Amino acid sequence: MKHTGICVTSLVGGMIIGSALAMLLTPQSGPELRHKLKDMAEEGIDKAKNQADKMQQMIKEQIEQARCKCESHEA
């Protein structure tokens, strides 16, 4: 579980950095480039938040399952 989160975070971070470098290396005007970088950063943040929400929900479900198993063993 811990490794999955690290992999996803690394993947998203690499995509953001790679996209930013590609934008910086292509000839564009300053305002255009800043606008595109801002949009890409916002997309990356949204993706990271969505992934964090999914992971949080999955962890909550696993905790609930573990509680149910503990309660059934105690009874």
The predicted-structure confidence for 30-48, as pLDDT tens digits, reads as follows 788 788 888 888 998 898 8
Please list the ranges in the chain whose pLDDT falls under 50: none
Q: Tell me the residue type at 27.
A: P
Q: Tell me the residue type at 75.
A: A
Q: Tell me the residue type at 41.
A: A
Q: What is the pLDDT of residue 57?
A: 92
Distances (CA, A) of 62 to 12, 55, 68: 24, 11, 10
Q: What is the pLDDT of residue 75?
A: 59
